[in-house]
Amino acid sequence: MKHTGLLLKDAYGTEAMRAVWDERNMVQKWLDVEAAIAGAQKELELIPGEVADKIIAKCTVDKLPPDLGLEVSDIDLHQRIDRFSELLNILALIGATLGQLGLEIRDLQRTEIAEVGEPWESGKHHSSSTMPHKRIPTSSEW
């Protein structure tokens, strides 16, 4: 018997392995987990017993229609998410680089180094109250 499933096709060579990894068996295992969750919630009284019994009774692959009408997507879900994670990673790297650049500019404005400096206007800028010879780089910090 040739395996005709859409997801796994002939990925596993023997009939015994195909039976383990068959889509119907895989879906049944998922439904078994749902039934076990419903049973545990019934024991903990999180859901009413009648509701849990209905869930457990319906958790069989035989109650599903043979063809669910599901189509295989053109692209895997993980590949679609990769684009967003790459964008967020790039934005984080840009933010970190700008933060490092700002710290470098602030450090280069220190009076001990004085390699760069902001234009100084006496009414607009302020110096330190305890050390008037030190200038506070307010524009670079914002």
For residue 55, the model assigns a pLDDT of: 94
pLDDT digits (tens, 9 = 90+) for 60-101: 988 887 776 777 777 776 666 778 888 999 999 999 999 999
For residue 1, the model assigns a pLDDT of: 43
Summary mean pLDDT of the chain: 80
The closest alpha carbon to 135, from 99, 108, 102, belongs to 108
Provide the CATH number for the domain formed by 1-72 in this structure: 1.10.275
Contacts of 21 (CB under 8 A, 6+ apart): 8, 11, 12
For residue 5, the model assigns a pLDDT of: 60
Residue type, 19: A
For residue 112, the model assigns a pLDDT of: 80
Residue type, 8: L
In percent, how much of the chain has pLDDT > 70? 71
List the beta bridge partners of residue 76.
none
Which residues of the chain have a pLDDT value below 70?
1-13, 68, 77-80, 120-121, 124-128, 132-142
CB environment 24-48: b (16+ within 10 A), e (fewer): eeeebeebeeebebbeebbeeeeee
The overall pTM is greater than 0.85: no
Contacts of 47 (CB under 8 A, 6+ apart): 38, 41
List the beta bridge partners of residue 19.
none
Domain ranges of the chain: 1-72, 73-118+127-142
For residue 142, the model assigns a pLDDT of: 58
